[in-house]
Amino acid sequence: MRCCPYIVVGVTLLLAAELAAENAETAEEKTTLKISASSAHSAVKKEDQRFPPPEFETGYVQPSPTTPAPPQDIYQYMDVLVLLAALGVGAYLVLKKRSRPAIFALAIFSLLYFGFWRRGCVCSVGAIQNIVLSIFDRSYAVPIVVLAFFLLPLIFTLFFGRVFCAGVCPLGAIQDVVLVRPVRVPNWLENALRLFAYVYLGAAILFAATGSAFIICRYDPFVSFFRLSGNWNILTLGGSVLLVSIFVGRPYCRFVCPYGVILRQLSRISRWNVTITPRVPRSGVPDECVRCRLCEDSCPFGAIREPTADWMARDYVTGKKRLALLMVLLPVLALSVGWAGSKLKNVTARMHATVRLAERVYLEDAGKAEGTTNASLAFRATGRYPEQLYAEASAIRAKFTLGGWFFGGFVGLIVGLKLIGLSRRVGRTDYQADRASCLACGRCFEYCPKEHARRKGN
Amino acid sequence: MTENKEPVTRRHFLKDTLWGTCLAGLGGLTGFIIHKHRKTGTLWQIDPYTCIACGNCATYCVLDKSAVKCMHAFSLCGYCRICFGFFGPEPLDITEGAENQVCPTGAIKRRFVEEPYYEYTIDESLCNGCGKCVKGCNTFGNGSLFLQVRHDRCLNCNECSIAAACPSGAWKRIPAEQPYLLKTQHEAGAHA
């Protein structure tokens, strides 16, 4: 606790009242002040107004406090318009123009506008939490701008794939500009690391739904760069992620971003999507892949899928058995991890300030903790009974029990589905951009000889 | 861009259904949320009657210079000669000497008005929002000094670092239409 000098001096308020009387006259120079600890933390009320406001005789006019206005709402609406425009331009550049330099330029614009100019807040990634909070907390209303930031990229993804990731998201852009030496992440590692993003999404929803914290914003590694200030922990984290981004393509987007997880799934079923070979003008069907293998290593995000070899008949049998087993295991996995999640409530619930406070007050009252904290002092100054606080804390813990079931169940389900996905045989004859993983950055376009033919033709 | 001209297979049909469901789901979500949306945004502010002036506002803000500053409700002020928002608990002397002041940055200016009254004003460019004066004034005086988020400085982060560190729950989101929670004579009475 930060030590307050008054408590150290600590005796009664009486002296202060005496001083009030002296105040009108000429008070003594040196005074020792004494107060009780509890009064140090109570807000002033009318009857406590110890010194009546004076009536001035010299015509002194009281100044009134200034209240500088917040930035105009118009800027926020402009943000939505810019977002909409950027998404539209992005979709055109990715699907129609197929120009990597243009997509890169759009990403730089977004980095400057949404990142450095608008300081990265509010962003679509963080908006998940506002939406979740508003669903679970009746008293919280989402500002319309936040809703738009959450929704527009999702809708665009349903139509055009992950164009938001390609050129609109400032978090993606800042990683993309530093990517100079991409290394290939092995497939197994890529899949394993990606699970973290799902866990992160689940945790973000859990903590937002219970009104505990917005962890996506709290641990956003880049927002401190956008603000050009921040504490050392978060700057170190951001710096490390950027350092990794030099060699591993957009690690935050691939392995951490909770919004990216949602976009992945929507991108799987998008109306139009990125194709390595250009689409044939009339029919709209992607041109035939000649399997020249030129694009094979062009994707720094491991999103290009190679043609598959046929399975042996024997592999088929074992593969089928494995798939059946995994499908049976899926509910078991979901339930068991869900159970484990619910058992975590005592740990997870501590993210909520009320639970932390209740635990502290309990420890102090039971004589198990020395001294006080600012929070426990503040609570005691309110005059509320600890029992009330304990009841609130148990209600919140109960929420975390239920939430833990869902969180754990979700994680179990994802792991199970991932295993199933990996055991599924996918037949491919061409080099294709994986609809889910493709960030639509457009790097692969110029590797395709068909694309060169298209550009010559134009 | 033209649609795919391939014949409709079961796979296509399922995919299209799923696509439609997703779009409808997003629409449903929007409908669910929009019925209680707000046109204007929200801002962070400190409830001065809950604030305990713990000092976190000075250190936890993501800005180098905290967006929280001390404000002075002149109508509540007693214009004391010995102000405990201005002087430390054991001032060596009742003068403006730095060694006597409670403010670590000398942001409070003391000016003689008329016998025996003194006016105290905050130099916002110096104030770091530590709340030491607020604590002094709340403890011994009228409580006319209080901390507020200054919206010309605040970045209005979605997750406010100070709010997360606030021990008393004084930080809250408030509607942007009414961006300050000021202490006034009337409100002081209302809270009594």
User: Chunked in runs of 10, what are the mean pLDDT values of chain B (192 residues)?
Assistant: 62 91 93 79 91 93 92 90 87 83 92 89 93 91 92 91 92 90 66 44
* Other Cβ atoms closer than 10 A to A341: 24
User: Quick one: which H or E segment has residue A305?
Assistant: strand A304-305
> What pLDDT was estimated at residue B4?
52
The answer to whether B43 contacts chain A (CB < 8 Å) is yes
Q: State the Cα–Cα distance between residues B71 and A83, nearest whole angstrom.
A: 37
The answer to whether B99 contacts chain A (CB < 8 Å) is no
CB-CB contact of A112 with B147 (8 Å): no
Q: Please provide the size of chain A in residues.
A: 458
Contacts of A211 in chain B (CB under 8 A): none
Enumerate the domain spans of chain B.
42-191
The answer to whether B71 contacts chain A (CB < 8 Å) is yes
What's phi and psi for A338, nearest 5 deg? -60, -45
Structure tokens at B21: 């469901």
When scoring B74, B93, B139, B154 by the number of chain A Cβ atoms within 10 A, the one with the most, hence best to mutate, is B139
- Min CA distance, A185 vs chain B (Å)? 30
Q: What is the DSSP letter of A433?
A: E
Q: Is the pLDDT of residue A63 over 50?
A: yes
Contacts of B80 in chain A (CB under 8 A): 20, 23, 51
User: Quick one: which H or E segment has residue A304?
Assistant: strand A304-305
If DSSP states are collapsed to H, E and C, what string results for A357-409?
HHHHHHHHHCCCCCCCCHHHHHHHHHCCCHHHHHHHHHHHHHHHHHHHHHHHH
Structure tokens at B103: 């403010």
Look at B90 and A19 and tell me if their CB atoms are within 8 Å.
no
The answer to whether B8 contacts chain A (CB < 8 Å) is no
- Assign 3-state DSSP to chain B and report helix, strand, coil percentages, each to 5: 30, 20, 50
Q: State the Cα–Cα distance between residues B44 and B168, nearest whole angstrom.
A: 15
Q: What is the DSSP letter of B87?
A: B
User: Quick one: which H or E segment has residue A17?
Assistant: helix A14-24
Tens of pLDDT along A248-259? 999 999 999 999
Look at A58 and B114 and tell me if their CB atoms are within 8 Å.
yes
Is the pTM above the cut of 0.80? yes
Look at A218 and B49 and tell me if their CB atoms are within 8 Å.
no
Enumerate the domain spans of chain A.
5-43, 75-308+434-457, 313-423
CB-CB contact of B33 with A131 (8 Å): yes
Tokens 């530590």 sit on residue: B130
Q: Average pLDDT, stretch A148-176?
A: 95
* Other Cβ atoms closer than 10 A to A380: 16
Closest by alpha carbon to B78, among A413, A50, A342? A50
Maximum distance among all alpha carbons in chain B? 95
Maximum distance among all alpha carbons in chain A? 104
Of the partner residues A39, A45, A122, the one whose CB lies closest to the CB of residue B158 = A122
**B101 in helix, strand or coil?**
strand
Look at B1 and A44 and tell me if their CB atoms are within 8 Å.
no
Of the partner residues B22, B52, B62, the one whose CB lies closest to the CB of residue A230 = B62
Contacts of A5 in chain B (CB under 8 A): 88-89
Of the partner residues B33, B135, B164, the one whose CB lies closest to the CB of residue A142 = B33
CB-CB contact of A342 with A405 (8 Å): yes
Structure tokens at B118: 């003194």
Contacts of B142 in chain A (CB under 8 A): 44, 48-51, 53
Tens of pLDDT along A378-404? 999 888 999 999 999 999 999 999 999
Q: What beta strand segments (E) does chain B contain?
A: 42-46, 68-72, 108-114, 117-122, 145-149, 171-175
Which is more confident, A401 or A35? A401
The answer to whether A279 contacts chain B (CB < 8 Å) is yes
CB-CB contact of A45 with B188 (8 Å): yes
Q: State the Cα–Cα distance between residues B109 and B96, nearest whole angstrom.
A: 9
Contacts of A70 in chain B (CB under 8 A): 43, 151-152, 154, 156, 176, 179
The answer to whether B184 contacts chain A (CB < 8 Å) is no
Contacts of B188 in chain A (CB under 8 A): 44-46, 49
The answer to whether A235 contacts chain B (CB < 8 Å) is no
Render the burial of A122-135: b for 16+ CB within 10 Å, e for the rest. bbbbbbbbbbbbbb
> What pLDDT was estimated at residue A150?
95
In A135-154, the residues whose Cβ lies within 8 Å of chain B are 135, 138, 140-147, 151, 154
**B76 in helix, strand or coil?**
helix
Q: Is the pLDDT of residue A2 over 70?
A: no
Q: State the Cα–Cα distance between residues A328 and A334, nearest whole angstrom.
A: 11
Q: What is the DSSP letter of A221?
A: S
When scoring A51, A145, A150 by the number of chain B Cβ atoms within 10 A, the one with the most, hence best to mutate, is A51
Contacts of B169 in chain A (CB under 8 A): 353, 378
The DSSP bridge partners found for residue A9 are: none
ipTM of the complex: 0.86
CB-CB contact of A403 with A206 (8 Å): yes
Tens of pLDDT along A351-374? 999 999 999 999 999 999 888 999
The answer to whether B65 contacts chain A (CB < 8 Å) is no
Confidence of residue A458 (pLDDT cuts 50, 70, 90): low
The answer to whether B61 contacts chain A (CB < 8 Å) is no
Tens of pLDDT along B8-53? 788 889 999 999 999 999 999 998 888 877 777 889 999 999 999 9
Q: Strand B108-114 vs strand B171-175: parallel, antiparallel, or unpaired?
A: unpaired
Give the Å distances, CA to CA, from B170 to A374, B46, B147: 12, 5, 10
Look at B180 and A67 and tell me if their CB atoms are within 8 Å.
yes
Confidence of residue A267 (pLDDT cuts 50, 70, 90): very high
Closest by alpha carbon to A43, among B114, B26, B69, B139? B139
Look at A141 and B32 and tell me if their CB atoms are within 8 Å.
no
CB-CB contact of A43 with B143 (8 Å): yes
Q: State the Cα–Cα distance between residues A392 and A384, nearest whole angstrom.
A: 12
Which residues are CB-neighbours of A366 under 8 A, at least 6 positions away?
A: none
Locate the chain B residue with the closest alpha carbon to A39: B139
Q: Is the pLDDT of residue A7 over 80?
A: no
Q: What is the DSSP letter of A286?
A: B
Contacts of B29 in chain A (CB under 8 A): 131, 151
CB-CB contact of A216 with A129 (8 Å): yes
Q: State the Cα–Cα distance between residues A238 and A232, nearest whole angstrom.
A: 10
Mean pLDDT of the residues in chain A? 86
Tens of pLDDT along A70-116? 888 788 899 999 999 999 999 999 999 999 999 999 999 999 999 99
